[in-house]
Amino acid sequence: DAASKFIPPEIKDGLICTVVHICNKRLKNVTDHCEKAFLTMKCVHEVNPDVFFIV
């Protein structure tokens, strides 16, 4: 959270949106809410570990 204060909002928002979009495409067939939440966090960390610490 503290590190996110040093990242300009447009970069942070764009980076997070890109990673979330990638993960949503990967997980589009997962229907269970809890499973999707866990897999989304895992995917975000795999796609870009830096975003994991921003969120």
Q: Quick one: pLDDT at residue 50?
A: 75
Q: Quick one: pLDDT at residue 8?
A: 65
Domain that holds residue 44: 3-54
Q: Quick one: pLDDT at residue 44?
A: 84
The C-alpha atoms of residue 28 and residue 10 are separated, in whole angstroms, by: 26
Q: Is the pTM of this model over 0.75?
A: no
The ranges of the chain with pLDDT < 70 are 1-13, 51-55
Query: What's the structural domain count of the chain?
Result: 1
* CA-based nearest residue to 43, from 55, 12, 6: 55
Quick one: the chain helix, strand, coil %, rounded to 5?
80, 0, 20
Q: Which residue has the tokens 């796609």?
A: 47
Residues in the chain, total: 55
